[in-house]
Chain A
Amino acid sequence: MNRIMANLRPDLAVIAGHVAPGAKVLDVGCGDGTLMAALRDERGCDVRGLEIDPHNVAECVGHGLSAIQGDADTDLALYPDASFDYAILSQTLQTTKRPDMVLEELLRIGRRAFVSFPNFGHWRVRSDLLWRGRMPVTRLLPVGWYETPNIHHLTIADFRDFVAQRGLKVEGAWYLNGDSLISPAMATWRAEHAVYLLSRG
């Protein structure tokens, strides 16, 4: 893995490492464009972004990237079918009003979708709830219950059930603890977050 990709957030590095070179990519919730820049510069991808914060969009434009200020909950409907090879939703699923609809939209717009999310079933989260009786505040969930943008918490087990119910095909799954990939065994307990590559199957 080269320098730029090595500096990416771990889940973004996983995604960047598995996008086919030259692909057309939509990054939903693209932030300041870090992943988009890596995909463009290292993978030769044609990348577009959707981002809710105008300051982040301005950052993207400043880096020569193309990003549209908008809301994943409403604006994905404006994208044509199968217009991208990949649609990416990193650390954003749990912040949407209707994650199920956003996922459906991702797989309508993109032939494949990368989805990453923090695992609410991590042992530290479970212990906070079990022993302290408190909503957890962890490295990946750093904000208190009243102001967190994460309004739809989910666990890896929840996501596996959802994917199975919807008949979606899992083309890849990666589990991260800290900055390291870990094995799928006990991932529901041990993974801080997960990255899935989905298709309609």
Chain B
Amino acid sequence: MPLPFGIRKALSTACAIFALGAVAACTPAPPGGGLDDPYEATNRDVHEFNKSLDRAVLRPLGQVAAATPREFTGPVSNFADNTGLPGMVLNGMLQGDIGGAATNTMRFLLNTTIGVGGLLDPAGGIGLYEESTDFGETLAVWGVQEGAFIELPVLGPSTERDAAGQIVDFVLDPLARVGTRPQIEYGLAARGARIVIDRGQFMQTVDGLLYDSADSYSQARSAYLQNRRFDLGEAPPVEETVIDPFALDLEGFE
């Protein structure tokens, strides 16, 4: 049941202001794209909580999803992805990325119509792929600093900037205005299911990272920051990304 417009708008505005306030309080990024983790102790506690949640809920569900034929999981993933596109179009426009916004608009229109309400992905078939973006990226484009690393309960690794972005994306999702009835009603459920399906598809990688590594918190933090900065076109988080392969001393190693 969608919220009445007035309440929704008031909530949106309040949250947007809260989010911007939170961002303004972001700690400045360390020079040279280093690591900023002043909340490490709390983050590690949250990480352990998230791991126990994964063990109890997400991983078992992911195993079920992995054993389910793609004929069933594929349409759910497509539907979920498609409901995220209006928000990406909005963010693209806020970033001045007209090309990305146009691609995502075309994708949304094609998949919602020819793609049977978004269950199929004919747009991908003609090379029209999602230009993935979110409000965290919009904030980055607007010059907001990344802030400290934080691990959010349930949602996982993030930064101060990205966490604020997640709140804004959730509250200001234009799907309620432009989506079809099934998209508005089942969009959130489908996005939840998509998380389960992805957990199933990348079972080995996620298990390896969470349960086989010596320090899963550091590995998750590092992977998140590297990937996020890659997506946003920012400097990689660790200086070692420019390891000079010719400068390594290999005496005794070969």
Q: Do A and B bind each other?
A: no
Q: Which residues of A are in contact with B by a Cβ distance under 8 Å?
A: none
Q: Which residues of B are in contact with A by a Cβ distance under 8 Å?
A: none
